[in-house]
Amino acid sequence: MNSKTRKPAVALLIAFSLTLPAYSESLSSLLTAAQKNSEAISTLEVNRQQSLLTIEMNDIGRQTSYTINPSLKSSYSNTENVNTYNFVGESGNLVSITIPGVRESSDPNAMLDDTHLYLNSDFVVINDHEDNSFYYGINPSIALDHTFLFGQYNTKESDITKQINILTVNQSYESGVLNYKKTALGYIRSIISNTKDQESVQNSIDDMETTIQNKLDLEMYTKDTVAYKSDLISLTNLKNSLINLKAQKESLLTRFKDYAGTDYVDIDDIELPELEIKTSNEDSLSVQLAKLKLQLAQNNIDEVNNEANRSSLTVNGEIATNQNSYSYDTTYTEKYNSDYKGRVGASYLADKVGLSGYASITSTYDGSTWSYVPSLTISGKWSNDTTKRQDVIINKKNSNALIVAQSELNTTISDDTYNRIKVQSDADSWKFKYSQIKDSLEISKEQVELDKQMLELGLKSQSELDTTVFNYEQLKYDELTCLIDGWLVSLDIESLNL
């Protein structure tokens, strides 16, 4: 009986120490190149940067603000032969400066520990050409106030929200990267599996062609028999299967290039995956987010409860002067008037009670005599609780939100614990499967060496050796796909931190 002949690749395989066809790159370097060239990864990185920039921009907070508001106006009139020229400066708050305090709030009615400085200077100049009279007046002033806050103020809601937003952005980015790696590994695994299937089908084609030829040579059937035609149909089906597998591989290679942004390169090394779970629930971004949401819910309750115990004291002061001068050239007379004013005050505001007061003194000089006018003003207010029902509803809603947040945290921790147990089980199962494949590979390699020796002694046929070598090849592909499965498990371990 004629033994079947193998393609040269099998002989080369034996000659080169039973290795797979030469590959050129490790799995980690292929994935690194894919991530570097991937449009999907670039989009993830840009979106992450944009989101973080938006968060940073929204968190800039209030800065010291300056407002300058000068206003000048001049006019000329000629009525009944009276020529009048006016020049007026109307500034209001010519310069106003606001220095923000520590506290910030999105509530426009919230009490803030700010400092304000106001500089004012109104003036007017009037020149009447008819009687040659001249008048000017200038009213500069400076005012300052600062607010002190009393009571308990919790962590700013914006701080907690910012942390939630940052964690959410990072979680979305890391999840996107992991999903990208999983998809890329899926393509690589499919390509390797396809290559294995192609070799398996090619081996079946070789076996079928050898069998048909042997049967013809031994006259077990002729080409016009049903058995021959049946074997020929089987051979045709195998060849069609091989054509389909080759087309599928071309499709996989194209899809990998489109997805990864780089050509697929055959792999010569797949590192053992890291399958040790080194983190705990505390490292999970999902758990951290759930805790922050619980903190935010508690903060909302504390804000409402502490509101009634908060109060503010605003102290203020002002110095102003009013300078006026009149001159009449026709009568050679002049009138001068000067006012000076100083004022200090304070206002206290609590839940429904307000109290304010200020003391001032005004001095006037008319060119020859000084006069003084002191003043003291005290006022207060009280208002009844018109929002009691509204406060009850708000408290109830906040309490319900706290219960929901606590429940979500418990569920998140429970799910995370379950996922860690499951992933650990998957890792243990993979280690057992990989050890079985390694044992099978070692046994298969030894069997190849043994069959080679037995072939030299005439105790084994070339066909039997070819079959042993082919089985070893298939196990090498199984090792590659198993290693990729291990990498997928390692990505599941990474995802525990999301």
What is the sign, positive or negative, of the torsion defined by CA atoms of 163, 166, 169, 173? negative
pLDDT in tens, 270-284: 888 888 888 788 888
Alpha-carbon distance of 136 to 298, in angstroms, equals 62
Alpha-carbon distance of 220 to 204, in angstroms, equals 20
Alpha-carbon distance of 202 to 463, in angstroms, equals 15
pLDDT of residue 230: 93
Q: Which residues contact 83 (CB under 8 A, 6 or more apart)?
A: 76, 77, 128, 129, 130
What is the sign, positive or negative, of the torsion defined by CA atoms of 182, 187, 190, 196? negative
Alpha-carbon distance of 7 to 19, in angstroms, equals 16
pLDDT of residue 47: 92
The top-level CATH class assigned to 8-55+163-293+402-495 is: mainly alpha
**Are 156 and 112 a contacting pair, CB within 8 Å?**
no
pLDDT of residue 5: 42
Which is nearest to 172 in space by CA: 51, 53, 259, 291?
Answer: 51
> From start to end of 13-92, where are the E strands?
25-26, 65-68, 72-79, 82-89
| pTM to 2 decimal places | 0.72
| Domain parsing of the chain, residue ranges | 8-55+163-293+402-495, 63-99+104-152+311-349
pLDDT in tens, 78-123: 555 445 555 555 555 578 888 887 776 666 566 777 888 888 877 6
Which is nearest to 296 in space by CA: 408, 187, 385?
Answer: 408
pLDDT of residue 126: 63
Helix (H) or strand (E) holding 365: strand 353-365
**Are 140 and 321 a contacting pair, CB within 8 Å?**
yes
pLDDT of residue 360: 86
pLDDT of residue 14: 33
pLDDT of residue 75: 56
pLDDT of residue 78: 55
Q: State which residues of the chain have pLDDT below 50.
A: 1-24, 81-82
**The pairing of beta strand 267-269 with beta strand 25-26:** parallel
pLDDT of residue 15: 32
